[in-house]
Structure 1
Amino acid sequence: MPMSTQVSAPPRVQPSAEFRPSPPRSEEGSEFAPLLRTVRAAGLLERRTGWYARSIGLNLLLVAATWSGVLLLGGSWWVLALALPAAVLGARTAFVGHDAGHQQIAASRRVNRVIGLVHGNLLLGMGVGWWTDKHNRHHANPNHVDKDPDVGVGVFVWTQRQAAQRQGFAQWLTRNQARLFFPLLLLEGVALKVSSLQDLRHRSGRDRLVEGGLLAAHLAGYTTLLLVAMNPLQALAFAALHQALFGLHLGCAFAPNHKGMEMPDPDGPRWGHLRRQVLTSRNVRGGPFTDWFLGGLNYQIDHHLFPSMARPRLKQAQPLIRAHCAALGLPYTETGLIESYRQGLRHMNEVGADLR
């Protein structure tokens, strides 16, 4: 989701209840069509409802256990140690909301929406409507400076043209954005909540009532739980640490995906679906820990090509997609986790180089 490091008010967009992207119905003869037929014939577009039911159930159980521990340890400063598992499990919750938004979990859009509202608005205080609209536009045109909100001008900028327009404090940020990237991710958890609240005025009446009510319930429940468990100073310290670690974890999960990859020329020819998704995305190699830590987003190329594909099927689809790209002479970019961060930071450093 990354979700966003921008702090400006979100642009006005048409409300949306769920993700629209799905495996495109490509025209016969397109580069993507043969791959779509192969993946579909292999049964990889079928849902894994049982897998998600077990994963969601386990996550909710661990969330409940962690916050029960907060209540039990609330009189001691040792309670701050639980901010880390609370943040990690919060990221797992966000990954479930992401998958529900892509219609990966259930066949019913209504069920996916309910799952998204519970995991996003209620459990995290992050508006599913705002994030869905933003993420739709990202998936449709990844790394396109005029169309992808994730590479728009915000706290960070992603092209030298954007950097040249910076003035004052914003210019200082751009000069130093590579070294400030990870420290500023500590604010991402709060920024997501603020953007969600700002966006409520753009929701329709019913959506505003539902989403706003769940956001208010989250805020009231979170505040009450902390103040019941501990004194106000401890509660403030716990909330600050929890939200900082949550934002850092989410940012680390989304940072490797597109930063430093190809950026389509706004004035150039429009790429087809296959090239648009493959050339702008980066996969992260690794084993079970990488899959868990990044919530399946380490299969970013495969996810962008088939956004409604269930998370556990991405690994199965990867060899088919890699082979198809090789047959077409398209680079299928994969790096290790640390190398993915290095490439992204190098790109951010180069963007700000002319200002130094």
Structure 2
Amino acid sequence: MVATRTFTRSEILNAEALNDAKKDADAPFLMIIDNKVYDVREFVPDHPGGSVILTHVGKDGTDVFDTFHPEAAWETLANFYVGDIAEHDRAIKNDDFAAEVRKLRTLFQSLGYYDSSKAYYAFKVSFNLCIWALSTFIVAKWGQTSTLANVISASILGVFWQQCGWLAHDFLHHQVFHDRFWGDLFGAFLGGVCQGFSSSWWKDKHNTHHAAPNVHGEDPDIDTHPLLTWSEHALEMFSDVPDEELTKMWSRFMVLNQTWFYFPILSFARLSWCLQSIMFVMPNGQAHKPSGARVPISLVEQLSLAMHWTWYLATMFLFIKDPVNIFVYFLVSQAVCGNLLALVFSLNHNGMPVISQEEAVDMDFFTKQIITGRDVHPGLFANWFTGGLNYQIEHHLFPSMPRHNFSKIQPAVASLCKKYGVRYHTTGMIDGTAEVFARLSEVSKAASKLGKSA
């Protein structure tokens, strides 16, 4: 039995000690959950959600743990218990904003809002497969005779991929099935075979985003500079560059002109994510990560990606054959999906506040989710096009709740935010996109002030 001890919060919430621990292979990875202390170092490589667990080492992870994990996870967590926070130093769950969000979660669970409609998801999956069938029919019928038909088919395929992304997102967040085996299985089919994304790569990236949304240096979704730079924090990469060299840097050129490059960059987003997925599941695909943070990759996942590229390439070479039209089909399908996916991702968080790691430490988990997110006004098209992610704030607060229940809880969430003065931002799709461009422009102007003396 592991000896336990009493800790003070300052012992755990110590940035310098945490940095030392990450360099020392034998040092503990301590985190606080519900006033108990756990050393999760040995569990990191086995964590089903990927390396997201590292975002809360050296922190209080109570709310992020409760938000993402089923009751059974407490049994696993108990294996890593090493002590308690001293009684005089314990966090008290007062009737503050965070406490009321926790109460809302309990209320929503009691109302059955965490239970999915299997008929709803059966329809969504079936409808999406019909989109794929339409795309395939068009290219099979006219692929060898009409470039226009290839463009139409490829565009429809891009829509299919986008919608597969949203469905895989729901299944892998375990919104549909409480049994995680089935969620992972459908996620591998929709995300791997249909979409071409690795489930493990996606979980590792997306769960980290959820744990630290718009936190500079932690959220991988805003770690896109110099192609796209979302905050002045990211401009620190130029801080030590001499003025005469700064004006010659291609990265600065990209930042200064990023509003012009926005859509061309998005056109290659899907292809980039597919390549990242392939690299991630390769034997050395995670060599850049500490050995203890590498995610085990199953043969099923590797096969799912192989199946995706098999049917995709077979579609082009069997039904089109002409090299030029094959290239057109490939380029259009990638560009359409890349733009459709990334437009929604940008609406979700880009243009919203980007916070430093220091600011994030002093901010409760739920406030961080809300002020960095943007809801888009609901409607038949918006709900379908965004895969329910137009309720971005609600999704971040309750990520395992099925999308079809978000409309039921939105008024309660908005009301609670108003009560506590927490900014709850909602807008239309066009206005939201304008906000994204405005933010890109602001950062470009800030970058233009650098190197003026050169």
Q: Is the 8 A contact 1:94 1:119 kept in 2?
A: yes
Alpha-carbon distance in 1 for matches of 2:101, 2:310:
47
- Distance in 2, matches of 1:14 and 1:150, equals 22
- How far does residue 130 in structure 1 lie from its aligned partner after superposition? 0.5
Question: How far did residue 91 of structure 1 move?
Answer: 0.8
Residue 205 of structure 1 and its aligned partner are, at CA, apart by 9.4
Quick one: distance in 1 between partners of 2:358 and 2:165? Answer: 35
Give the stretch that moved more between structures: 176-185 or 138-147: 176-185
Distance (Å, rounded) in 2 between the aligned partners of 1:165 and 1:143: 18
| 1:157 counterpart = 2:229 | yes
Alpha-carbon separation, structure 1, partners of 2:382 and 2:137: 28
- 1:162 corresponds to which letter in structure 2? A
For the pair 1:347 / 2:439, whether they are aligned, the reply is yes
Distance in 2, Cα, partners of 1:198 & 1:208: 14
**How many angstroms apart in 2 are the aligned matches of 1:17 and 1:161?**
31
Structure 1 residue aligned with 2:253: 172
CA distance in 1, matches of 2:223, 2:425: 23
Mapped partners of 1:349, 1:274: distance in 2:
29
1:34 pairs with 2:108: no
Tell me the SS of whatever aligns to 2:336: helix
- Residues 63-85 of structure 1 deviation map (CA, whole Å, 9 limit, x = unaligned): 12321221111212223221221
Q: Say what the alpha-carbon RMSD is for the aligned residues.
A: 2.3
**Partner Cα distance (1:293, 1:64) in 2:** 19
Question: Contact 1:32–1:273 (CA<8 Å) still a contact in 2?
Answer: no
Q: How many residues align?
A: 344
Aligned: 1:264 with 2:355:
yes
Q: Does 1:322 align with 2:366?
A: no
- Find the aligned partners of 1:346 and 1:292 in 2 and give their Cα distance: 26
Q: Distance in 1 between matches of 2:355 and 2:295?
A: 37
Higher relative contact order (CA 8 A, sep 6+): 1
Moved more, 331-340 or 58-67: 58-67
Of all paired residues, the percent bearing the same amino acid is 27
1:100 aligns with 2:190: no
Give the Cα separation in 2 of the matches to 1:16 and 1:191.
Answer: 26
SS state of the match for residue 348, structure 2? coil
Structure 2 residue 137 is matched with structure 1 residue 68: yes
| 2:308 maps to 1:308 | no
2:315 is matched with: 225
Q: Distance in 2 between matches of 1:273 and 1:119?
A: 30
Q: Distance in 2 between matches of 1:327 and 1:151?
A: 30
Q: Displacement, 1:206?
A: 6.7
The alpha-carbon deviation at position 54 of structure 1 amounts to 1.6
**Offset at 1:106?**
1.2
- Residue 260 and residue 309 in structure 1: after superposition, are their counterparts in 2 closer, same or farther (change >3 A)? same
- For 1:264, give the aligned amino acid: I
Note the alpha carbon deviations across 1:202-240, whole angstroms, 9 max, x for none.
477972522222212211221122111012221111111
Task: Tell me the secondary structure at the aligned position of residue 349 of structure 2.
Answer: coil
| CA drift at 1:139 | 0.2
After TM superposition, what 4+ stretches of structure 1 lie above 6 angstroms from structure 2?
19-22, 203-206
**Distance verdict in 2 for CA 1:15–1:189, change over 3 Å:** farther
One-letter amino acid matched to 2:234: Q
Aligned pair 1:56/2:138, yes or no? no
The letter of the residue matching 1:143 is N
Question: In the alignment, which of 302, 306, 316 is matched to residue 212 of structure 1?
Answer: 302
Q: Within 5 Å, which residues of 2 pair with 1:118-157?
A: 118-154=189-225, 155-157=227-229
Q: Which has the larger radius of gyration?
A: 2
Distance 1:343 1:209, change over 3 A: same
* Structure 1 residue ranges without an equivalent (≥5): 1-12
Q: For 1:306, give the aligned amino acid.
A: F
Residues 112-123 of structure 1: matches in 2 within 5 Å? 112-123=183-194
C-alpha separation between the residues in 2 aligned to 1:18 and 1:288? 32
